[in-house]
Amino acid sequence: MRRIKSTIGSLVAIWALVVLVACGSQSAAPAAPVEPAATAAQTTTENTAGTKAPDQQQVELTISAAASLTDALNDIKTGYEREHPNVKLNFNFGASGALQRQIEQGAPADVFISASTSSMKALEGKALVKKSSTLLANDLVLVVPAKDGVALKKLDDLKGQDIKTVAIGIPDSVPAGKYAQEALTNQKLWSELEPKLVQAKDVRQVLQYVATGNADAGFVYKTDALSTKDTSIALTVDSKLHSPITYPLGLVAATSHEEDARQFYDYLQTESALQVMEKYGFRKAE
């Protein structure tokens, strides 16, 4: 009898233990999802961090351009760098012939904008420019000092005694000077006026000579004449007297930033860029 009671007591104790364990497991169950939730949050944070775009590397482009483009390109620079914050435009302005020689001698350049078709063709012939197109057109004008300048109605008036000096870009390196030489030669005035000629390194220097009174007249592009109030346009040279004034645009073969250089090359041909150019007196090339 005692053995039976002992057995029953053991069974009751075992049953109570089973019930206790089961109840404990049920009460602890709600706490189980905590760890997966924390893991999910951690994974989300890691994914967000993983998709963060890296900072773009700053790129500096060197643009070798004819001096007559100075004002227009500096205007374009402001808007372009705002739209492309990773790009900085550095301009190298000068006479197209001089810039051509710099590129031939290995000077760094990514894009070349010339005021002379011959300068661009020379670089293409040496495979120093891989892509080019005609970008702009301009006019050749004769300017005089805004104050007390001599009235000139035709090129022949340059022979007058009141005109002692005529500023002109060096014909061998300054396209505007070459165009002026062509016009004077075709008008049969070159030989007679040559003793009066004062040669300048670029059109901006011609403009300075006239503005300061160091020359009585000078040949510059219309765009240069419009950039200052210190000179006035006496006349526009008949375009039939000289070669067409066009500005070819080229992608330099030796560029170290071809993708960015190509983007700027393409941008200069957009309506947005051309509108800025037209504001400074340039015309879209036909």
Look at residue 55 in the predicted model and tell me its pLDDT. Answer: 55
Look at residue 214 in the predicted model and tell me its pLDDT. Answer: 95
Write the DSSP symbol of residue 139. Answer: -
**Paired tokens of 61:** 């482009």
For residue 156, pLDDT beyond 70: yes
Sequence-separated (6 or more) residues with CB below 8 Å from residue 215: 165, 166, 167, 198, 206, 209
pLDDT tens, residue by residue, 12-41: 454 444 444 444 444 444 444 444 444 433
- Record the pTM: 0.72
Please, are residues 53 and 209 in contact by the beta-carbon 8 Å criterion? no
Look at residue 46 in the predicted model and tell me its pLDDT. Answer: 38
pLDDT tens, residue by residue, 200-241: 999 999 999 999 999 999 999 999 999 899 999 999 999 999
Q: What does the pLDDT average to over 235-248?
A: 96
Which of 5-19, 45-59, 153-167, 212-226 has the lowest average pLDDT? 5-19
Mean pLDDT of the chain: 85
